[in-house]
Each structure stands twice: as structure tokens, then as C-alpha cells.
Homo-oligomer: A and B are copies of this chain.
Amino acid sequence: MNFLELVRKRYSLRKYAPRPVGRAALERCIEAARLAPSACNSQPWRFIVVESTELRERLAETAFSGIYKMNQFACRAPVLVVMIRETSGYAARLGGTLRGVPYSLIDLGIAGEHFALQAAEEGLGTCWLGWFNERAVKNILGLNRRTRVDILFSVGHPEEGADLPEKKRKAAAEMCEYR
């Protein structure tokens, strides 16, 4: 599978089979994220992979309740991955402040997508989730109040019969020009 094929294969999976996910596959996904580039090589990320049924159920129930319930599909995923944004190193922070761009968020995007693309290569589906009760997530995981949990991923095998949805994107001419 070449990279463009992998990119086309990755999509936001919202229908998960109950089948568990192997630890080795998860480790390869984390390895792909670990090797991601970042501003000044700050690597401003940390992952918590929640596999145990009891913890995952408690986490999902509170993370996706109330105003966050549009993401309740993630309660059926056999794995939830919590992505924490750490503070960048000094040089990246200084540069980011001078430029007015918090690079650590771009870095999070890069590392998270490495994770998601490796998952797609493993035959797994993922969904990037930004809309959840962060406070509840931190409470349940015993994280410091000031920890920044910006992203969760739901991870699992696609439900049987799940179709690869068509990608709806702007045309190339709308998002790129050559000069």
C-alpha cells in the first residue's frame, strides 16, 4: 500500500466491532507517533492508552455525556487513547510566542496523525475527538488540573460491513495554486 492509498483508507470510524485490539498493533501506532517531527524536536505530547474495560467504560461514560453526547459512539470502541499536550521546549515556546503561533498544537496534529495512519495500516479504525468533557477525563485518570488533554482517539476494528465512506474535500484548485 503506498502512502496515498493509506491516506485514502484512513477515515473517521464511528462503528466499532467489540473485538479487542492487540497490544502489539497499539505499540506500533505509538511508535509511529513517537517518531513524529515537532518544533525544535520538543515532542510536546504524552499518550495514555486505555484498554481495561472497567476504566475505559468509566472514562467514556463521563467524557461523552451531557453536551458532549454527540460523540457517544466512542463508548463502543474497545480502546480509547488520551493525547496530552505538554509544554514545548524553551526555543519552540519563545519562537511560538514571537510568531503568535502555539506550535505545540501543530505538533499534536502531526503526532496524532502518525498514530491514526499507522492504525489504518493495521486495519484498525480511529476517530479524532476534540469534543469531550476534559475535566471529567482528568478526574478519572487522576491527572493534574492543569494538564491539557486536547484530543482523544477512539480505536478499534470496524464493524462488519462498514463501508469506506467517500471523502468530501475541496477540489485541489480551491486549496492550492502554483506560482
A interface list, Cβ under 8 A from B: 1-4, 6-8, 10-12, 23, 26-28, 30-37, 39, 41, 43, 45-52, 55, 95-96, 99, 101-103, 105-110, 112-114, 116-118, 121, 128, 130-131, 134, 141, 150-151, 167-170, 172, 175-179
Contact = CB atoms under 8 A, between A and B. Distances in A.
Q: Pick the 3 closest A-B CB pairs, nearest first.
A: A109-B109, A105-B105, A106-B109
A114 to B, nearest CB: 6
A74 to B, nearest CB: 15
Given A4-B28, A41-B168, A49-B176, 10 more contacts: A3-B121, A7-B118, A34-B172, A39-B128, A47-B176, A48-B179, A52-B179, A99-B130, A101-B105, A107-B109
A145 B7 CA distance: 34
Given A106-B150, A169-B35, A99 B131 contact: yes
The A contact surface, by secondary structure, is helix
Copies of this protein in the complex: 2
A71 to B, nearest CB: 11
A153 to B, nearest CB: 12
A7 B35 CA distance: 7
A120 to B, nearest CB: 8
Contacts of A48: 176-179
A39 B99 contact: no
B105 A46 contact: no
Contacts of A52: 179
B179 A51 contact: yes
Contacts of A55: 179
A30 B151 contact: no
A121 B117 CA distance: 14
